[in-house]
């Protein structure tokens, strides 16, 4: 079975091409088994619990960790298939990992975004389903992992507030495109009060040692700008859970995913579901501590990690040391094409970074070291405090780069790269290192400057890596168009790749950009103070000219997505007020017929302007048929 979206766009412009997702399909063989012998409750008559089994792989026996999938607005219980299928495939190909037993709720595809009572009913039934699931294991497990899509994530948070919730029966919640901070549509007073109750319940006091949520971890994943159902600004959880218990992340910044996904594609995008499956399977111990679960979640979902990726081994100092002089030069490239041990050192600076395409499995062949020079002798020690960030490869669709940021509690004089064996890639090409200073060029262009085209083109000098920041570009309502006007061809090592961040958050990558090609720049509201919109350009040591323009079409779309429901509510309220005004005018003027919509609107405006009814009556006359005319 091919799990894909039901519709595709027939054509896209050059400015849209780089913003479109490139999700792969997920192939599955689904089987759904209805779980019988559930407690008879009011909600068990309209909701159903199913067990998912992957064809040709899973048996009906429950041997793993239970996971409960909760669908969202008008969602089907069958939407669990991609995640469940990939987790089964992953657990059967890996060693020392436990299977996941996926359960899913059939909630009759209710419209939970429009009815808070539906959310409460589903949360009530979800608690009953969790107790049923735990009873199937006969005491072997005491908690369930929950994966919620869209409003299903709100159901997952709500169930903990209800009286029938069993304490500690849920310890890990993973939400996909869930509007945590605000309801998508506020047409129901119940859902308004529900969000208020959630805000109060999920407070800091609940995550203390005595709090009800002290053992709960919550991770929220957003699809980005392609999600036109739930605005990704509402998926943040920084105001809901402390950093020790959860985080929010965009699919564009998850290692080896690096792509946006729309509201439905986030459930079947193969790159993403594979990564999520590996993450959940590795939370193999249902009794794992919060710290242990957070370590696994960060290890699989965050792009920046600690230096634990660097293998620790004994040093074998070479006789010759190559010293790189970075004076007047931003970056330096060299290849790992030697069969002999080699030490390359560079003077340390706070902005120093190291970019390489060496895969993790070859980390035992090289080491990042901190060196000192005494007379003509060099002494080096492993640099264990470096952080590593995983980036997509600029030239390979499946490869990756990594850049290291060295740091140490002790003073560092030189940073060295110690190669102890020859390092080659799978295609037998030599790996490369690029050492560069990550100093930013600041551009004080405002959105108005870009609209009026007051600024000159963005000139990128001949560098392998350069960073440009725009401190005044912070509003997520606006969209821009980044256009490559001209470039001089390089050596073919690194095709142009752009890394976009806002306040250091929401990394987004645009790869293999060609001349006269554009990318659409969109981002979401970042928390805290920072540098604003920033771009890192990875080039083949070539000079380029880039122009940033204001994207009116995309900006209008983002405004409608953000405030569309508010505009609907506003027009609804205005219509009610005008109806009341028509009734009021009917009484005061003495006519036995209602005035027109235009006249009622004028009457309302006059009330706002404090014009009395005597003056208002002179503005309205009635013809022989009783129709209201304007003088």
3-state secondary structure of 464: strand
Q: Which residues are catalytic?
A: 150
* Average pLDDT estimate for 319-334: 80
Q: Please determine, for residue 133, whether its predicted confidence score (pLDDT) is greater than 60.
A: yes
Indicate the pLDDT class of residue 8, thresholds 50, 70 and 90.
Answer: very low
CB 279, CB 244: distance < 8 Å: no
Residue 489 confidence (pLDDT): 62
Q: How confident is the model at residue 184 (pLDDT cuts 50, 70, 90)?
A: confident
Measured distance CA(339)–CA(70) in Å, rounded? 55
Mean pLDDT score, 137-162:
95
Q: What pLDDT is stored for residue 6 in this prediction?
A: 33
Distance CA 34, CA 39 (A): 14
Q: Residue 83 above 70 pLDDT?
A: yes
Do 447 and 423 have their domain in common? no
pLDDT one-digit tens code per residue, 564-620: 777 877 888 888 888 887 787 777 766 667 778 777 777 777 776 665 555 555 555
Q: Which residue range forms the structural domain that includes residue 409? A: 322-437
Domain boundary among 390, 422, 437: 437
Q: Could you tell me what percent of the chain has a pLDDT over 70? A: 87
Q: Per the domain annotation, does 399 fall within a domain?
A: yes
Give residue 213's pLDDT. 95
The overall pTM is greater than 0.75: yes
CA atoms within 13 A on the CB side of 608: 9
Pair 281, 155 in one domain: yes
Regarding whether 476 and 417 lie in a shared domain, the answer is: no
Q: Is the pLDDT of residue 277 over 50?
A: yes
Mean pLDDT of 362-384: 85
Residue 330 reports pLDDT greater than 80: no
Report yes or no: 355 and 403 within 8 Å, Cβ to Cβ. Answer: yes
390 plus 277 within the same structural domain = no
**In a 3-state reduction of DSSP, which class is residue 452?**
helix
Q: What integer pLDDT is reported at residue 558 of this predicted model? A: 87
Q: Per DSSP, what are the bridge partners of residue 368?
A: 417
- H runs (alpha helix) in 212-283: 270-282
Cβ neighbours for 223, distance < 8 A, ≥ 6 positions apart: 176, 177, 232, 250, 251, 260, 261, 262, 263, 265, 266
pLDDT at 15 over 60: no
Q: Torsion-angle region of residue 504: left (phi > 0), alpha (psi -120 to 50) or beta?
A: left
Q: What is the 3-state secondary structure (H, E, C) of 19-65?
A: CCCCCCCEECCEEEEECCCCCCCCHHHCCEEEEEEECCCCCCCCCCE
Does 59 lie in the same domain as 189? yes
User: For residue 536, what are the contacts with CB-CB under 8 A and spacing of at least 6?
Assistant: 438, 465, 466, 467, 498, 499, 501
Contact 25, 2 (CB under 8 A): yes
Q: Which of 388, 413, 437 is the last residue of a domain?
A: 437
Residue 11 binned pLDDT confidence (cut-offs 50, 70, 90): very low
pLDDT bin (cut points 50, 70, 90) of residue 380 is: confident
**How confident is the model over 458-511, as pLDDT tens digits?**
777 678 898 999 999 988 899 999 988 766 665 567 888 999 999 888 999 998
Report, as an integer, the average pLDDT of 204-214.
Answer: 91
Q: Are residues 595 and 507 in the same domain?
A: no
Whether 84 maps to a domain, the answer reads yes
Residues 150 and 288 reside in one and the same domain: yes
Token pair listed for 572: 């609804």
Residue 110 banded pLDDT, cuts 50, 70, 90: very high
Q: Is residue 6 domain-resident?
A: no
Rounded to whole angstroms, how far apart are CA atoms 119 and 153?
A: 10
504 and 415 in a common domain: no
Residue 20 belongs to some domain of the structure: no
| pLDDT at site 309 | 42
CATH of the domain at 203: 3.40.50.1820
366 part of a folded domain: yes
Q: Give the distance from CA 556 to its chain's centroid.
A: 22
Distance CA 363, CA 345 (A): 18
350 lies in the same domain as 488: no
Residue 7: pLDDT band (50, 70, 90) is very low
Q: How many CB atoms lie within 10 A of CB 374?
A: 7
As a whole number of angstroms, the distance between CA 511 and CA 154 comes to 35
Q: How many CA atoms lie within 13 A of 381 on its CB side?
A: 9
More confident residue, 493 or 323: 323
Between 22 and 25, name the one with better pLDDT: 25
Structure-token pair, residue 68: 């409960």
Interval 76-103 mean pLDDT: 93
* Helix pair angle (116-136, 189-201), 10° resolution: 50
Q: CB of 28 within 8 A of CB of 85?
A: yes
Rounded to 5 degrees, φ, ψ at 238 are: -65, -25
The pLDDT of 445-465, averaged and rounded, is 82
State how far the Cα of 134 lies from the Cα of 140, in Å rounded to an integer. Answer: 8
Alpha-carbon distance 561 to 559, whole Å? Answer: 5
533 has a pLDDT exceeding 80: yes
Other Cβ atoms less than 10 A from the Cβ of 165: the count is: 19
Task: Using the predicted structure, report yes or no on whether residue 515 has a pLDDT greater than 90.
Answer: no
Do 156 and 253 lie in a common domain? yes
Structure-model confidence comparison of residues 97 and 9, the more confident one = 97
Residue 17 belongs to a domain: no
Q: Which has more confidence, 446 or 155?
A: 155
| Residue 622, pLDDT above cutoff 50 | no
- Residue 4: the pLDDT is 39
Residue 162 in any domain: the answer is yes
The tokens of 308 are what?
Answer: 């634990």
Query: Are 346 and 446 in the same domain?
Result: no
Domain count across the chain: 4
CATH of the domain at 528: 2.60.120
What does residue 461 show for φ and ψ, rounded to 5 degrees?
A: -70, 175
d(CA 525, CA 236): 10
**Taking all residues of the chain, what is their mean pLDDT, rounded to a whole number?**
85
The reported pLDDT for the residue numbered 606 is 73
- CB atoms under 10 Å from CB of 626, counted, come to 11
∠ Cα 136 141 144 (to 5°): 85
Domain end (from 437, 471, 496): 437
Number of helical H runs and strand E runs in the chain: 11, 30
- Whether 533 and 564 map to the same domain: the answer is no
Contact by Cβ (8 Å): 541, 462: yes
Average pLDDT over residues 239-252: 95
9 domain-assigned: no
Angstrom distance (rounded) from CA 628 to CA 606: 17
């Amino acid at each position: 079975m091919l799990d894909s979206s039901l519709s595709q766009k027939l054509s896209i412009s050059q400015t849209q091409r780089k913003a479109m997702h490139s999700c792969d399909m997920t192939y599955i063989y689904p089987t759904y088994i209805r779980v019988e012998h559930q407690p008879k409750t009011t909600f068990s008559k309209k909701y159903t619990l199913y067990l998912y089994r992957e064809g040709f792989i899973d048996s009906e026996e429950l041997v793993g960790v239970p996971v409960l999938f909760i669908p969202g607005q008008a969602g089907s219980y069958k939407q669990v298939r991609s995640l469940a299928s990939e987790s089964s495939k992953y657990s059967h190909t890996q060693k020392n990992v436990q299977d996941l037993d996926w359960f899913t709720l059939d909630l009759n595809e209710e419209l939970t975004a429009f009815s808070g009572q539906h959310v409460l009913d589903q949360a009530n039934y979800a608690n009953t389903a969790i107790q049923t699931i735990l009873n199937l294991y006969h005491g072997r497990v005491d908690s369930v992992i929950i994966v919620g899509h869209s409003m299903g994530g709100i159901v997952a948070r709500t169930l903990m507030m209800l009286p029938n919730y069993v304490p500690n029966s849920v310890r890990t919640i993973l939400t996909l495109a869930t509007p945590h901070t605000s309801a998508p549509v506020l047409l129901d007073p119940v859902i308004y009060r529900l969000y208020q109750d959630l805000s109060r319940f999920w407070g800091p006091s609940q995550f203390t040692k005595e709090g009800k949520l002290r053992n709960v971890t919550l991770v929220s994943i957003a699809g980005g700008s392609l999600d036109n159902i739930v605005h990704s600004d509402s998926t943040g959880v920084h105001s809901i859970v402390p950093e020790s218990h959860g985080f929010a992340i965009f699919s564009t910044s998850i290692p080896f995913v690096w792509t946006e996904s729309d509201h439905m594609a986030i459930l079947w995008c193969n790159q993403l579901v594979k990564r999520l499956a590996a993450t959940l399977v590795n939370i193999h111990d249902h009794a794992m501590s919060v710290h242990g679960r957070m370590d696994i979640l960060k290890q699989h979902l965050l792009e920046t990690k600690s230096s634990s990726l660097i293998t620790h081994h004994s040093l074998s100092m070479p006789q010759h040391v190559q010293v790189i002089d970075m004076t007047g030069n931003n970056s330096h490239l060299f290849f790992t094409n030697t069969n002999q041990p080699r030490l390359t050192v560079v003077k340390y600076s706070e902005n120093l970074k190291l970019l390489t395409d060496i895969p993790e499995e070859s980390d035992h062949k090289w080491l990042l070291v901190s060196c000192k020079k005494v007379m003509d002798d060099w002494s080096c020690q492993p640099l264990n405090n470096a952080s590593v960030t995983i980036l997509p490869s600029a030239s390979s669709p499946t490869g990756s780069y990594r850049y290291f940021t060295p740091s140490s509690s002790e003073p560092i004089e030189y940073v060295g790269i110690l190669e102890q064996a020859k390092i080659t890639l799978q295609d037998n090409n030599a790996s490369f290192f690029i050492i560069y200073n990550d100093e930013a060029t600041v551009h004080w262009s405002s959105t108005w400057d870009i609209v009026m085209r007051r600024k000159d083109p963005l000139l990128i000098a001949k560098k392998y890596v350069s960073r440009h920041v725009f401190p005044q570009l912070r509003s997520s309502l606006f969209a821009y168009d980044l256009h490559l006007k001209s470039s001089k061809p390089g050596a073919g090592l690194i095709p142009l790749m752009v890394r976009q961040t806002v306040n250091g958050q929401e990394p987004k990558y645009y790869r293999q950009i060609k001349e006269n090609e554009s990318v659409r720049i969109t981002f979401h509201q970042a928390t805290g103070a920072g540098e604003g919109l920033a771009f890192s350009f990875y080039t083949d040591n070539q000079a380029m000219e880039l122009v940033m323009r204001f994207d009116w079409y995309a900006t209008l779309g983002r405004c409608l997505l953000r405030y569309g429901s508010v505009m609907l509510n506003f027009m609804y309220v205005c219509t009610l007020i005008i109806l009341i005004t028509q009734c009021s005018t009917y009484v005061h003027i003495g006519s036995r017929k209602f005035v027109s919509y235009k006249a009622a609107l004028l009457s309302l405006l006059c009330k706002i302007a404090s014009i009395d009814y005597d003056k208002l009556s002179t503005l309205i006359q009635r013809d022989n048929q009783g129709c209201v005319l304007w003088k």
